Amino acid sequence: MRNAALVAALGSSIVAALTTSADYTELHPVVAPTAFPDVSETTDPWQCATEDPMKYLSEVPMPTGGLHEAQISFGSSLIQTCLTSGTFKYPCAYPDQSLWCGFTTAMPASLLPDYSSYASSAASWWAANSASVIHIATMCPIMWYQASNFGVLGGAIYLNQTLINSICYAEANPTVTGSATGPTPTPGQSASEPASTSTSAIPSQTSSMPNPGEPCNGGTNADGESENFMGLCSFACHYGYCPPGPCKCTSYGTPGTTPPTNGRDGCPLPGESEDKLLAEDGTVLVDGYSMEPYRFSLPRDDFRADVKTDLFALGCTIYFILLGHTIFPDIGDRDKEAWEKVEERLAKKEWPREQQVYSAVTVKCWEQ
């Protein structure tokens, strides 16, 4: 009877693009890792500097009130053996998906409306964000592990809870979900588009969307962002560096090698006024007031470093990154060791963590 009520609470649009329990076995260690990734490289690819895992981890739907308490109690009962075995080590393994789905029949009937609302939002969130989450988690496993375990307290747990509740709902409603319980859509594929014939939940290659590690080679300003970013985003994304936030990638594949040099030691050419920033070939990198503020998240160790970035400085810095240019050696005289780290990361096309790179590069470019 209770499952019938759950079915009635679900619409086909909500359960579209959910994963099956078979997909969950493959997805769980990828999107909700509890151990440091077993990878050969000690760092993620430099393209990961353009990704923002916190955007997704901080917006995961969460149960509240009595539903939250009931799920904690139910979950604790499933890991009781781990907690009382005398060999407890954090974290206990997350309960098996088939066991966790038992909550839909074990919960008090009074919680059904709250659970329907929560699971619906969880299903909708996963359908909308699964492609991006899987893409970042597979391409940038170290960044994703650190962000999901330390950047957001309980991030991996809540993300796993969102995923598993989505599956429980889908499996409780086979007649409505139908083929919608097939594999998670590949990046860029909407819930309404035909699912891939592959049974893997890991994104498969298409002509325009990425495999893990495949760089961006085209882009524009992100939805809702100022068109002042259009030229800068188109230019930077073409060369495989697509800053998150102001830009969005529109195609993937082999990027351009390096932009043309301009005889200014890597500095972009200024336009007719300080409101424009031009590349040597006349490409408009920035078209708008040069002090237009933009909140840019840097991939620092604490994953919480936000700075207000001058748009012109952002353009200059990106140009240096793209060129792999030897930056003015005298900039770092006041703090040589710190600047050497900046230069090292720029040479690797990694976004520098030190904030002074903005003002330093900008000042030197204006002095040209």
CB-based burial of residue 21 (10 Å sphere; 0-12 exposed, 13-18 middle, 19+ buried)? middle
- Answer yes or no: is 80 within a domain: yes
pTM confidence score: 0.44
Same domain, 10 and 113: yes
Per-residue pLDDT of the chain (368 residues; tens, 9 = 90+): 333 333 233 323 333 334 444 456 667 677 777 777 777 667 788 778 778 888 888 888 888 888 888 888 887 777 766 655 554 444 566 677 778 888 878 888 888 888 888 888 888 888 888 888 888 888 888 888 888 877 776 677 778 888 888 777 777 665 433 333 333 433 333 333 333 322 222 222 222 344 445 778 888 877 776 676 777 788 888 888 776 666 788 888 888 877 776 666 666 666 555 556 677 667 777 665 444 333 333 333 333 333 334 556 667 667 766 766 555 555 545 556 656 665 565 555 454 444 444 555 555 665 55
Same domain, 68 and 160: yes
How many separate domains does the chain show?
2
The residue from 181, 197, 230 where one domain ends is 181
Same domain, 161 and 249: no
Number of helices (H), then strands (E), in the chain: 16, 7
Given this model, what pLDDT does residue 50 score? 76
The residue from 181, 206, 225 where one domain ends is 181
Please tell me what DSSP assigns to residue 296.
E
Same domain, 160 and 16: yes
Same domain, 287 and 242: yes
- Answer yes or no: is 266 within a domain: yes
- Answer yes or no: is 264 within a domain: yes
- Answer yes or no: is 331 within a domain: yes
Same domain, 133 and 248: no
Given this model, what pLDDT does residue 9 score? 33
Given this model, what pLDDT does residue 46 score? 78
Same domain, 168 and 224: no
Element holding 293 (H helix, E strand): strand 293-297
Could you give the CA distance from residue 19 to residue 26 in angstroms, rounded to a whole number? 10
Same domain, 33 and 174: yes
Same domain, 155 and 251: no
Given this model, what pLDDT does residue 15 score? 36
- Answer yes or no: is 149 within a domain: yes
CB-based burial of residue 148 (10 Å sphere; 0-12 exposed, 13-18 middle, 19+ buried)? buried
Given this model, what pLDDT does residue 363 score? 56
Short-list 297, 315, 210, 304, CA closest to 255: 210
Same domain, 242 and 299: yes
Could you give the CA distance from residue 118 to residue 62 in angstroms, rounded to a whole number? 7
Same domain, 158 and 235: no
Given this model, what pLDDT does residue 280 score? 66
Tell me which residue range forms the domain holding 289: 216-367
The residue from 181, 203, 232 where one domain ends is 181
Q: Give the number of other Cβ atoms within 10 Å of residue 19's Cβ.
A: 25
- Answer yes or no: is 323 within a domain: yes
Given this model, what pLDDT does residue 205 score? 25
- Answer yes or no: is 151 within a domain: yes
Given this model, what pLDDT does residue 49 score? 78
Q: Cβ contacts of residue 116 below 8 Å, gap of 6+?
A: 5, 6, 9, 10
Give the chain's end-to-end CA distance (angstroms, integer): 76
- Answer yes or no: is 311 within a domain: yes
Same domain, 31 and 155: yes
The first and second tokens of residue 186, run together, are 């590949």
Given this model, what pLDDT does residue 177 score? 39
* CA 13 vs CA 170, 244, 258: distances in Å: 12, 29, 44
Residues 3, 172 contacting (CB under 8 angstroms):
yes
Given this model, what pLDDT does residue 135 score? 85
